[in-house]
Amino acid sequence: MTATASDPVQFMLSLLGAVREVTGRRPPPTWTHVDKVQAKLGTTNIDAVDAAIRIAAKKGWLRSDGDPPKSIALTGAGIKLLELQAATRPR
């Protein structure tokens, strides 16, 4: 999964999806290291990853620990957002 920060909405969804995959789709709160998610995204742009994490945390889609964030976990709201996005994606 390669994500670029040029489309912020897609990058955010890719970030949330990467967290879900890296945590093995286990229920929240299942924590993982930001480095693992960044590797899953296939990006070296840590600034974009950090910014997306902060926004997602403010929206209630993720929980984060550290400044800058070192560990993150999806919330129930984050999972619902991913499920809604998957349900409305054109086939």
Query: What are the structural domain ranges in the chain?
Result: 8-85
The whole-model pTM stands at 0.90
Residues 13-33 pLDDT 10s: 999 999 999 999 999 999 999
The pLDDT value recorded for residue 4 is 55
The pLDDT value recorded for residue 52 is 96
The pLDDT value recorded for residue 89 is 79
Strands of 1-91 (E only): list them: 31-33, 62-65, 71-74
pLDDT under 70: residue ranges of the chain: 1-5, 91
CA distance 48 to 60: 18
The CATH number of domain 8-85, selected from 3.40.50.1110, 3.90.25.10, 1.10.10.10, 3.90.1150.10: 1.10.10.10
The pLDDT value recorded for residue 7 is 87
